[in-house]
Chains A and B, each alone.
Chain A
Amino acid sequence: MSTIPTVDPATPAPTPTPAPAAAARPRRPRPTPGKVLAWVAMALIVLVTLFPFYWMLRTALSTNASLYEDPAAVLPPEFSTGGFARVFGAQSQEEALAEGGAATSLVFWRYIVNSLIVATLVTVGQLLFCAMAAYAFARLRWPGRDLVFGIFLAGLMVPTIFTLLPNFVLIKELGLIDNVLGIALPTMFMTPFAIFFLRQFFLNIPREIEEAALLDGVSRVGIFFKVVLPMAAAPMATLGILTYMTAWNDYFWPLMVSYTDDSRVLTVALGVFRAQSPQTGTDWAGLMAATLVAALPMVVLFALFAKRIVNSIGFNGLK
């Protein structure tokens, strides 16, 4: 392997043991034109990916009037934290209107709490229940297993619009309209993708480990919770964070279910904030500030878990 000079030292690891960049430095190969091109492409992709975020920040820190006067300025054309002040309702009606926004009566901290509750309920419930189901599909032997799995998987194809109304009626009948639980419930139990994703992973856990535990007198349930789940920490974390993000960013369903501050989540509040824009034009500064506020908890979450998520996504040995 070491005889082939063009191979990046990080590439040939069959098992992903992330090679620290620093360790690779001494043997860094001569850059080929292809490599240079690849790095340029990479830089371009990073730029395109991050630019909108920069533009959000730049817009959020500007005054609305200046945005229209100098639309292409790289830095905020006229620096102001008014957008953020409006988001948190720290501006009086007159101030807000003068700056091209509307004074809001929105209590963003409260929506953050609601969003946290919903996303946590969905993530915890979905992870646990889907892991259980996935284990049953991957590791337990029972008649009709593959058929049932196929039926579950078919759920992937059901368009969301199809389930919207019946689910809404059901939530109403349960008396959970305008309740955070009503928002969380439909996705709290399972999604076909989560089961599929975790099943792939469980299929590849060596049976020896389970057999050893069985011999030690551990029950099947015990094996699942004490052996299998800890081993699946990485894919569970990946799935968890993706689920969390999806639940956090859902707009449509919470919009239908929530009516008051009791259950209003961030995305819906963002929509309300947007709708409060006066008719003289969109309050872009305020809107972008609100957007950043809404995305911030996700950024924090991501920073905390980034290593875990991206290091191993459980697609090993796809069946």
Chain B
Amino acid sequence: MSTTTRQIVLDPDAARNRRARERGPVTRRSARRRGLLLPLAFLAPAGLGYLVFYLWPTVRGIWLSFTSFNLLTPAEFVGLDNYRRLVQDPLFWDSLGITVWYVVLNIGLQTVLALIIALMMHQLTRSTFLRGVVLSPFMVSNVVAALVWLWILDTQFGVANQVLEWLGVGSIGFLTDEFWSIPTIAAINVWRHMGYTALLIFAGLQTLPDTVYEAARIDGAGETRIFFSITMPLLRPILALVLIMTIIGSFQVFDTVAVTTSGGPANSTNVLQLYIYDMAFGRFQFGYAAAMSVALLIVLGIITFIQFKLTRANKTDLD
């Protein structure tokens, strides 16, 4: 195992040079043939899956956002009506705001914790047991994670509030109070995902060139300084990638909210995906739900674009 691992970490420049050398003495035609047939064959199954289960539904969803569609009778084209309604719908903007607040809390807390765990896994101990432990919450589903915490945080019978009472703090309506419920839901999902995120960051840490560290240490740099002036800049592209993925996931929070608060009290946890879902499958206004999904798609697209730009920009620092 360790031999394969070692071979992986090679100088990217060397690979690039070799790529230039690769065009061997093959004829142009066969090269083109090989150049198309083979990739096509390799891509075919995944490409089919992409076309059928990603691209086509997306195109269809965008089309439906211009229609009035109740799921059971044929859709009717209504032009921009759904988008006009979206702009004027205060609930949509509220739920977008709630979702952003959730994402900020969830991603902020999760990234910091995952970074700390990754650093500790890297520098403190390499115990497999520990890695297993931090990944363990990922073994239960969102629904189960939500249920367990619902029980632990129950106002009346939850152990968390029992402890708080005992400490004299008094019980907190973790999932029933307007102020607490979004942070609590964010924390529950941090619990489930932080180990997973930590492992991704940890994998990135393993790739950082050691020579830089040695040089810094010889220069007498402290651990804190090393972290901020070496580790973080080097880790940035990986962090950016992890962030893209976790943010996209975070924006689509649904299960946890559906189980713990169903959007209440008084819509204070009505995250976007919940609003969309209820609009589509609870209220049969699929056209409008599709328009809101398009809005979500655009938001996710912008975030991804910005982050990819940041990743690219930072890559030059690395080399």
Contact = CB atoms under 8 A, between A and B. Distances in A.
B310 interface: no
B135 A204 contact: no
Interface in B122-181: 122-128, 130-145, 147-149, 151-152, 156-159, 162-163, 166
Contacts of B151: 55, 59, 284, 288
B42 interface: yes
Please classify how large the interface on chain A is, using the bins under 10, 10 to 19, 20 to 34, 35 or more: 35 or more
Interface stretch (A87-95, A101-109, A309-317): A309-317
A206 B7 contact: yes
Contacts of A61: none
Contact of A189 (B49, B124, B223, B315): B49
A56 B148 contact: yes
A48 B126 contact: no
Contacts of B254: 161, 252
Interface of A: 1, 4, 6-8, 10-19, 21, 34-35, 38-39, 41-42, 45-46, 48-50, 52-53, 55-56, 59, 67-68, 71-72, 125, 128-130, 132-133, 135-136, 140-143, 145, 148, 152, 154-163, 165-167, 170, 185-190, 192-193, 195, 201, 203-209, 211, 220-221, 224, 231, 233-234, 242, 245, 248-252, 267, 270-271, 274, 284, 287-288, 291, 294-295, 298-299, 302-303, 306-319
A46 B133 contact: yes
Contacts of B207: 315-318
A50 B49 CA distance: 37
Nearest to B242: A315
B6 interface: yes
B152 A52 contact: yes
Contacts of A291: 140, 144, 147-148
B45 A46 contact: no
A310 B241 contact: no
A300 B199 CA distance: 20
B230 interface: no
A15 B10 contact: no
B238 to A, nearest CB: 5
B106 interface: no
Q: Is the interface of A mostly helix, strand, loop or mixed?
A: helix
B265 interface: no
Interface of B: 1-2, 4-10, 12, 14-15, 18-19, 22, 34-36, 38-39, 41-43, 45-50, 52-58, 60-61, 71, 113, 116-117, 120, 122-128, 130-145, 147-149, 151-152, 156-159, 162-163, 166, 191, 195-196, 199-200, 202-204, 206-207, 209-210, 213-214, 217-218, 223, 237-238, 241, 244-245, 248, 251-252, 254-255, 273, 276-277, 280, 286, 289-290, 293, 296-297, 300-301, 304, 315
A156 B300 CA distance: 9
Can you list the 7 inter-chain pairs with the closest CB atoms, starting with the nearest? A189-B49, A249-B141, A313-B203, A166-B57, A133-B46, A72-B162, A136-B42
Given A45-B113, A310-B131, 12 more contacts: A11-B213, A12-B213, A55-B148, A72-B159, A140-B35, A189-B45, A204-B8, A220-B38, A221-B38, A274-B147, A298-B140, A312-B8
A162 B61 contact: yes
A68 B46 contact: no
27 contacts: A17-B2, A17-B5, A42-B120, A129-B45, A141-B35, A143-B35, A154-B304, A159-B273, A161-B252, A161-B254, A186-B49, A189-B53, A221-B38, A221-B41, A234-B1, A248-B141, A249-B141, A271-B143, A291-B148, A294-B140, A299-B139, A303-B132, A313-B200, A318-B207, A318-B237, A318-B241, A319-B12
